C-alpha cells in the first residue's frame, strides 16, 4: 500500500518545456485564436442536432453553478451521480442524451433540476460530445461557474467533504483563479472486474476504492502549454508496450465560463491557453482537484463489447481493439502498490491535489 506521508511528487517530468521565441509564440497564439473560433462556429452548427426533451433553463439564476454532461445508457450511474453533485452544490444540470436504449431519458425527465436534449447523431463526429456541450455552454453558461464531466467522473478537491462548490468558487475568484485543473484517477477493485457487485444508487467508490498513488508522467504540451499527464492503471495494464498511447489524465472540468471559451479534446485542454496556468504541478500555488474515474464497474464489460462494434470513443478505434477486448473479459487490475481512497485529505498528502491558497476550512 502507498505511503500517505511520502514527500516525493507522484508526477515525474519526462521532458522540459522549451518556450518558443516571442515571434513564433505570437504566431502560435494567433492560430489558436482562429482554432477556437472554428470550434465555436462548428458547435453552433451542431446545435441543430440537439432535440429538446425537457427545457427548464428559464429557472437558471445568475449565481447558479451548472453541470454539463453527455450520456448514453447511464441509468445505472445516474441516481448516485445526481445525488453526489447536488450535495456538492450544483444548481442545474444540462444533459445531452446520445441515443440511450435504457431508461436514461425517462429518469432524467423526472428531475426538476435537469434540462435534457437528445440526439442520435455520431458521438465521434461531434468531437466526442464536445460540440454539443459547447453549444449549450455558449447559450447558457456565460458568467456561470460550469462543471463539465462524464457520468463516470466524481470531482473531489481539498475539503470537498465540508466545502461546497459555492464556497470553493468564491475563494477561487477572490484570488483570481478562474479554472480548476484536475488529475483523473482511475479507480479499481481488489478483484476481477467481473466479480464486483454494484447496485444503482450506491457509491461506486465503495466498489472501486483503489487507485495508483504514483507513477504518473507529465510534460508541458508544446502547442497548448498545459500539463499533459499520463500514467495510472490503464497505462500500466493496457499500454505497457506503447505508453505514448495511454489515456490523457489532465482535465479542466470547472471553469468560470465565457462564451468565447472552447474545449479542445474532452476537458483535457481548453482555449484560450491562459486557463492552463491554473494546473501547476511544480509549485501547486493554485487549488486543484481530482476526478475519481469509476469506469471499471462490471457494466464496462458489456459496454466494451458494444464499443467494439460502434467504434465511437477514439479517433482511430482500430488501435484500441485489444483494449476493449481485454476490458470485455473483466480483468483484475489490482497491484500491491495500490492505495485505498479515504477522503480528499489523503490526495493532498500524496501530492495528487493541491490546496493552493484556500483558507483552512
Do 180 and 318 form a contact (C-beta atoms < 8 A)? no
The pTM is what? Answer: 0.94
Chain mean position to CA 159: 19
Write down the pLDDT at residue 4: 41
Measured CA distances, 22 to 2, 16, 221, 280 (Å): 43, 18, 17, 22
| Total Cβ atoms within 10 A of residue 112 | 8
Q: β-strands 11-15, 216-220: how paired?
A: parallel
Residues β-bridged to residue 332: 192
Closest residue by Cα to residue 345 from 358, 330, 327, 331: 358
pLDDT digits (tens, 9 = 90+) for 67-111: 999 999 999 999 999 999 999 999 999 999 999 999 999 999 999
Closest residue by Cα to residue 117 from 51, 49, 48, 44: 51
| Total Cβ atoms within 10 A of residue 213 | 25
Helix (H) or strand (E) holding 179: strand 179-186
pLDDT digits (tens, 9 = 90+) for 307-350: 666 654 555 445 567 787 888 888 999 999 999 999 999 999 99
**Three-point CA angle 321, 324, 327, nearest 5°:** 145
Write down the pLDDT at residue 301: 80
Write down the pLDDT at residue 311: 57
In whole angstroms, what is the distance from residue 199 CA to residue 207 CA? Answer: 10
* Contacts of the segment 224-227: beta carbons below 8 A, 24+ positions apart: 224/32, 224/264, 224/269, 224/271, 224/273, 224/276, 225/17, 225/273, 225/276, 226/250, 226/252, 226/268, 226/269, 226/273, 226/276, 226/279, 227/181, 227/276, 227/279, 227/280, 227/281
Residues β-bridged to residue 82: none
In whole angstroms, what is the distance from residue 320 CA to residue 186 CA? Answer: 18
Write down the pLDDT at residue 306: 74
Task: Return per-residue pLDDT of the chain as tens, 361 residues.
Answer: 433 444 589 999 988 777 778 889 999 999 999 999 999 999 999 999 999 999 999 999 999 999 999 999 999 999 999 999 999 999 999 999 999 999 999 999 999 999 999 999 998 899 989 999 999 999 999 999 999 999 999 999 999 999 999 999 999 999 999 999 999 999 999 999 999 999 999 999 999 999 999 999 999 999 999 999 999 999 999 988 889 889 999 999 999 999 999 999 889 999 999 999 999 999 999 999 999 999 999 998 888 777 666 654 555 445 567 787 888 888 999 999 999 999 999 999 999 999 999 998 7
Residue 188: phi and psi, rounded to 5, are: -150, 165
Write down the pLDDT at residue 166: 98
Residue 7: phi and psi, rounded to 5, are: -95, -25
Measure CA of the first residue to CA of the last residue in the chain; give whole Å: 28
Query: Which segments of the chain does DSSP mark as H helices, in order?
Result: 22-46, 78-88, 104-109, 130-136, 165-174, 204-207, 232-238, 299-310, 321-328, 344-350
Do 185 and 352 form a contact (C-beta atoms < 8 A)? yes
Do 257 and 138 form a contact (C-beta atoms < 8 A)? no
Buried b (16+ CB within 10 A) or exposed e, 166-205: ebbbebbeeeebbbbbbbbbbbbbeeebeebebeeeeebb
Which residues lie closer than 8 Å to 353 by C-beta, 6 or more apart? 156, 157, 158, 182, 183, 288, 289, 290, 344, 347
Write down the pLDDT at residue 3: 39
Write down the pLDDT at residue 309: 61
Amino acid at each position: 500500500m502507498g505511503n500517505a506521508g511520502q514527500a516525493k511528487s507522484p508526477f515525474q517530468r519526462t521532458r522540459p518545456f522549451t518556450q518558443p521565441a516571442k515571434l513564433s509564440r505570437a504566431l502560435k497564439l494567433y492560430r489558436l485564436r482562429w482554432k477556437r473560433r472554428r470550434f465555436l462556429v462548428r458547435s453552433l452548427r451542431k446545435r441543430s442536432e440537439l432535440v429538446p426533451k425537457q427545457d427548464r433553463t428559464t429557472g437558471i439564476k445568475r449565481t447558479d453553478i451548472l453541470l454539463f454532461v453527455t450520456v448514453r445508457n447511464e441509468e445505472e450511474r445516474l441516481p448516485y451521480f445526481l445525488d453526489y453533485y447536488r450535495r456538492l452544490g450544483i444548481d442545474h444540470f444540462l444533459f445531452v442524451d446520445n441515443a440511450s436504449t435504457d431508461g436514461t431519458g425517462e429518469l432524467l425527465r423526472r428531475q426538476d433540476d435537469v434540462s435534457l436534449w437528445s440526439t442520435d447523431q455520431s458521438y465521434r463526429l461531434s468531437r466526442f460530445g464536445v460540440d454539443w456541450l459547447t453549444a449549450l455552454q455558449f447559450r447558457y453558461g456565460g458568467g456561470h461557474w460550469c462543471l463539465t464531466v462524464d457520468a463516470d467522473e466524481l470531482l473531489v478537491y481539498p475539503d470537498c467533504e465540508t466545502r461546497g462548490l459555492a464556497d470553493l468558487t468564491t475563494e477561487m475568484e477572490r484570488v483570481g483563479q478562474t479554472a480548476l485543473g484536475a488529475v483523473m484517477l482511475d479507480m479499481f477493485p481488489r478483484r476481477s472486474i467481473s466479480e464486483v457487485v454494484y447496485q444503482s444508487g450506491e457509491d461506486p467508490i465503495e466498489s472501486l476504492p483503489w487507485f495508483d498513488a504514483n507513477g504518473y508522467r507529465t510534460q508541458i504540451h508544446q502547442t497548448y502549454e498545459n500539463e499533459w499527464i499520463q500514467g495510472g492503471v490503464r497505462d500500466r495494464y493496457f499500454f505497457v508496450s506503447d505508453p505514448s498511447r495511454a489515456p490523457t489524465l489532465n482535465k479542466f472540468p470547472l471553469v468560470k465560463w465565457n462564451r468565447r471559451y472552447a474545449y479542445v479534446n474532452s476537458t483535457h485542454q481548453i482555449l484560450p491557453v491562459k486557463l492552463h496556468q491554473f494546473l501547476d504541478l511544480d509549485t501547486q500555488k493554485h487549488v486543484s482537484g481530482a476526478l475519481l474515474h469509476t469506469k471499471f464497474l462490471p457494466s464496462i464489460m458489456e459496454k466494451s463489447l458494444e464499443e467494439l462494434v460502434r467504434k465511437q470513443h477514439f479517433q482511430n478505434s482500430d488501435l484500441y481493439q485489444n483494449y476493449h477486448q481485454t476490458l470485455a473479459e473483466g480483468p483484475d487490475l489490482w497491484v500491491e502498490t495500490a492505495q485505498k481512497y479515504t477522503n480528499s485529505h489523503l490526495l493532498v498528502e500524496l501530492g495528487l491535489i493541491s490546496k493552493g491558497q484556500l483558507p483552512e476550512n
